[in-house]
Chains A and B, each alone.
Chain A
Amino acid sequence: MELKSNVPEGPLEKKWDNYRFSSKLVNPANRRKFSIIIVGTGLAGGAAAATLAEQGYQVKSFCIQDTPRRAHSIAAQGGINAAKNYQNDGDSIFRLFYDTIKGGDFRSREANVYRLAQVSNEIIDQCVAQGVPFAREYGGTLANRSFGGAQVSRTFYARGQTGQQLLLGAYSALSRQIKAGRVTMYTRREMMDVVVVDGRARGITVRNIITGEIESHAADLVILGTGGYGNVYFLSTNAMASNVTAAVRAYKKGAGFANPCYVQIHPTCIPVHGDFQSKLTLMSESLRNDGRVWVPKKKGETRKAADIPENERDYYLENKYPSFGNLVPRDVASRNAKEKCDEGQGVGPTGLAVYLDFAEAIQRDGADVIFRKYGNLFQMYQKIVNVDPMKEPMMIYPAVHYTMGGLWVDYNLMTTIPGLFAIGECNFSDHGANRLGASALMQGLADGYFVIAACVANYLGTNKFAKVDETNEAFLSSRREVEDRLQKLLKNSTGGSAGKCTVDEIHKELGKLMWDYCGMARNKEGLEHALKELPGIRQKFWDKVYIPGSTKDINQSLERAGRVADFIDFAEIVVRDALARGESCGCHLREESQTEENEALRDDANYSHVAVWEYTGEGSEPKLNIEPLTFENVTPSQRSYK
């Protein structure tokens, strides 16, 4: 597998300009002759579909939900970063770039991250022009807050619903193009395969969730904006339908998968309540701006929070990291919470939680001020847990939240399959080993609104396209494979359900294995154990899973089964990647590689690279390829938040 990053020449701040100048363009009158398939309608996919249609291309957009307004970008709460420096507090494009590279623990590509910081400002302008109601100061200018460890206020927000408002902005732009006839919208479609013709991605095979019909769609190129793979852990903050199927199908057709072990575990989620828990809910990280994290000093403490005196409380983040305190990056906060719980200082009925306490902030600023800032989050918490955070501390615990790994892409956002692009969380490109708060929305919209169009034009302008339609043999054989696979999923469905298991039971088993051995802290022994257990789970799935109904109509069990089958296959490269990366970096903590202070210890001499996994066929070991990372503008340093 050849991994050419195709980073343009020139100094860092000129690369994106140079790229756009040297790229091929497509004449406006010719654009209607090209067709583009975009899978996913989140911030990346939705913005890309609207933008490419505005430019004149014929766009086919696909989503799994009943409408493009529901993609999981909608659930992002906290905000979106940009280097506007509206607060005059020393921000700049270079500082946003530097913070992102450093936050990612020097495991991302400089040129991609710099481009992200460069276009961040345009995103805010674009969204405001669409009518996105970002919070304002009393004087009417845009408000900002500091977020997740940043020492400047660069985060724009719309109450605790920033993702919703940004997504509805992209959805409205997309709706305008649907009305104009430039986007054909296909809802309730699940992508089942990428179709490759003469070495290029030329279409997809999808299943219509309502009719069960298998459909082929051809185009000149395919863009995947299909999100992350957090649900490989069963419990995560991802939506129920979030899955890795599109990316795994691409991987099996020849797309390299980069850094799958980089999984962000978010420190402020609502703790698990019991065995029937179906997903976890995030509480915005902005809460750490005013909330103080603590656990009782005494192990196995049984008193209520209010009855524990100050001197018996362990404010472990403030004590250990005096300069960042409660605002340390996500990976550091998560790991410390786990350590405290593992040591027996956890709180709540399961002992798997820590306190996030607003008492001091309420006393300092007044109940009104705190409620105005966090009221909607407090209400959300109260709805789920039945406790009012204005009166008692919240309980929080880390949960799988975001996946930095993804399909490998070059500077053009193109995977190793020519003509197959990946944008947003679906690619690996910008966040390295750890993503900063409020940067996911920024990356999704940067890719969708501002980056992909130039890349698409360059690709279309430099290649010749033979006419390909859905009767091509590659489409027919893809359909057959998809149909065979569906039949295979249903093979245990005759002869009743006795002695068989449900899809969720196996998904939970997979999730538990991944959480226990490939979660917040990993070691060689545990990862090897997981690798040994995975084939058994796969075997059990194919031998025992029982799916009622048929392929020919609405069958939610069948949908989930297809996704879980791919999660099982995918889990293997997550574990292999975690095993192969013998260092700790960002969210990936290998217990063998820590500083004396139990911080992640990088090993730049051996691991300053992107690990890219190549599919080599069923039953054969995937191959590890390397893209070395070079740093010309920043010097990798050991992160310290003391």
Chain B
Amino acid sequence: MSEINLTLKIWRQPNAEAEGKVETYSVENISTDSSFLEMLDVLNEKLTHEGVDPVAFDHDCREGICGMCGAVVNGVAHGPEKETTLCQLHMRHFKNGDTIVIEPFRSRAFPIYKDLMIDRSAFDRIIQAGGYTNVNTGGTPDANSVRISSQQLELAMDAAACIGCGACVASCPNGSAMLFTSAKVSQLALLPQGQVERKERAQAMVQCMDGEGFGHCTNTKECEAVCPKGISISNIARLNREFLKGIFTGRDD
């Protein structure tokens, strides 16, 4: 372990309506074993002692699974490490004297609440449009009554690993939510349980996605590059196939 000093340039915006600007702060003696969010904790303790409003940021589990944290660090969503959420980014990846620029995930569909806190409720509405199987609690068949090959299952699991953080949207030049939407569509399309609604699901979710103000996919692959869970853009290809199949073979009502 060693300790480093840093200059931070952080986006400050008091609320959704106010105009924001970048403020410069310094932090000293940051342990390189600490996480990026722990470094922000140190800054906030310092700001509080100085009587300055601390930087608001979302976070919860701090073990890379809840999907609540996220910011753009030096131009990259969740920072420089591959397949790493902001809370799992450790300060050993920075050098003494570095300047770090920290901004919120920006997208038309993700309005800013305050500083680095954003509104990602559009993701919930996409799931509500069809990201489920229509089964009620109770009366379901025995879990082993349908066999699923482990290969197929692993593919579904790869897609199901999405944590809904929004880094894909923040990195996409079009602000597209295709990677997020395709992950859920893929999980259910790959499993026998998801077949009943398969023809309607992709269309319903894409329609909702468009309505929320997310842009279209133009295959820039920025989403895949920053995804902390390594969700592959092959899921987007699958979403496109599901969408087209739905158009040609889905119910017409």
Contact = CB atoms under 8 A, between A and B. Distances in A.
* Residue of A70, A72, A453 ringed by the most chain B CB atoms within 10 A: A70
Contacts of A496: 51
Given A139-B147, A502-B48, A131 B133 contact: yes
B67 A502 contact: no
A262 B194 CA distance: 42
B238 interface: no
A352 B80 CA distance: 31
A126 B138 contact: yes
Interface stretch (B4-12, B150-158, B210-218, B219-227): B150-158
B54 A548 contact: yes
Given A136-B149, A140-B147, A497 B50 contact: yes
A127 B121 CA distance: 25
Interface string A448-459: 011001000000
Interface stretch (A171-179, A417-425, A536-544): A171-179
Given A51-B137, A72-B66, A131-B194, A172 B61 contact: no
A130 B137 CA distance: 9
A485 interface: no
Bin chain A's interface residue count. Answer: 35 or more
Nearest to B114: A554
A138 B42 contact: no
B132 A130 contact: yes
A124 B137 contact: no
Interface stretch (A277-285, A393-401, A472-480): A277-285
B128 A178 contact: yes
Contacts of A122: 138, 140
Interface stretch (A31-39, A161-169, A562-570): A161-169
A273 B48 contact: no
B72 interface: no
B66 A277 contact: no
Contacts of A72: 60-61, 66
A70 B60 contact: yes
Given A128-B143, A129-B133, A241-B60, A66 B38 contact: no
- Interface residues of chain B: helix, strand, loop or mixed (majority): loop
Given A128-B140, A141-B147, A70 B127 contact: no
B65 interface: yes
B61 A69 contact: no
B203 to A, nearest CB: 15
B213 to A, nearest CB: 18
Contacts of B245: none
A201 B60 CA distance: 29
Interface stretch (A380-388, A601-609, A612-620): A380-388
Contacts of B237: none
B19 interface: no
B240 interface: no
Contact of A66 (B14, B58, B92): B58
A54 B136 contact: yes
B230 to A, nearest CB: 11
Given A125-B141, A133-B157, A497-B51, A179 B92 contact: no
A166 to B, nearest CB: 11
Interface in B101-141: 113-114, 117, 119-121, 123-124, 127-129, 131-138, 140-141
A274 B61 contact: no
Contacts of A134: 143, 153
A128 B56 contact: no
B128 A553 contact: no
A604 to B, nearest CB: 39
Interface in A135-176: 135-142, 158-159, 161, 163-165, 168, 171-173, 175-176
Bin chain B's interface residue count. Answer: 35 or more
Given A129-B141, A168-B160, A274-B33, A75 B63 contact: yes
Contact of B66 (A54, A133, A239, A502): A239
A176 B161 contact: no
Contacts of A453: 137
Nearest to B15: A553
A125 B141 CA distance: 6
A415 to B, nearest CB: 23
Nearest to B62: A279
A142 B142 CA distance: 11
Interface in A43-76: 47, 50-51, 54, 65-70, 72, 74-75
Interface in B36-81: 37-38, 41-42, 45, 47-54, 56, 58-68, 81
A158 B120 contact: no
Contact of A69 (B67, B142, B146): B67
A176 B147 contact: no
A512 interface: no
B164 A69 contact: yes
B232 interface: no
* Residue of B58, B124, B164 ringed by the most chain A CB atoms within 10 A: B124
B104 to A, nearest CB: 13
Contact of B59 (A128, A185, A240, A502): A240
B228 to A, nearest CB: 11
B99 interface: no
B34 interface: yes
B90 A384 contact: yes
* Residue of B34, B60, B68, B156 ringed by the most chain A CB atoms within 10 A: B60
Contacts of B164: 67, 69
A74 B66 contact: yes
Interface in B133-185: 133-138, 140-144, 146-150, 153, 156-157, 160-161, 163-164
Given A126-B140, A553-B15, 13 more contacts: A47-B137, A65-B60, A128-B143, A129-B193, A134-B143, A172-B132, A173-B135, A187-B121, A277-B38, A278-B62, A279-B62, A553-B14, A553-B114
15 contacts: A66-B120, A74-B66, A75-B63, A122-B140, A131-B187, A131-B191, A133-B153, A140-B148, A140-B149, A159-B161, A185-B124, A386-B90, A497-B50, A502-B45, A548-B54
Interface of A: 47, 50-51, 54, 65-70, 72, 74-75, 84, 86, 122, 124-131, 133-142, 158-159, 161, 163-165, 168, 171-173, 175-176, 178-179, 185, 187, 210, 237, 239-241, 273-274, 276-279, 281-282, 349, 380, 383-386, 449-450, 453, 496-497, 502, 504-505, 546, 548-549, 553-554, 556-557
